[in-house]
Amino acid sequence: MRFKKRTQGLPSGTRVEFLADDVSGRRDLQALCEITGHQIESVHEEDNGVIRYRICLA
């Protein structure tokens, strides 16, 4: 998963935005956050179908 690769090595407490256009990816991202301890702070679905996640890294 791109999210995992791109956030490796970033300090704890870093806030990132992750954009997705796949609704089923929400389950995968939630599962990854449960495993890693990251917190999904917000989820916003835009009119164009893009889903914007704001995540605080553990």
Q: What CATH code is carried by the domain that includes residue 35?
A: 3.30.110.40
Distance CA 49, CA 56 (A): 23
State residue 1's pLDDT score. Answer: 67
Q: What global pTM score does this model have?
A: 0.85
Range of the domain at 24: 2-56
Give the pLDDT mean for 39-46: 96
Total number of domains in the chain = 1
What separation in angstroms does the CA of 2 have from each of 17, 28, 47, 48?
Answer: 13, 12, 23, 21
Tokens 């599962």 sit on residue: 31
For 6-21, write each residue's pLDDT tens digit: 999 999 999 999 999 9
Give the contacts of 45 (CB within 8 A, at least 6 positions apart): 51, 52
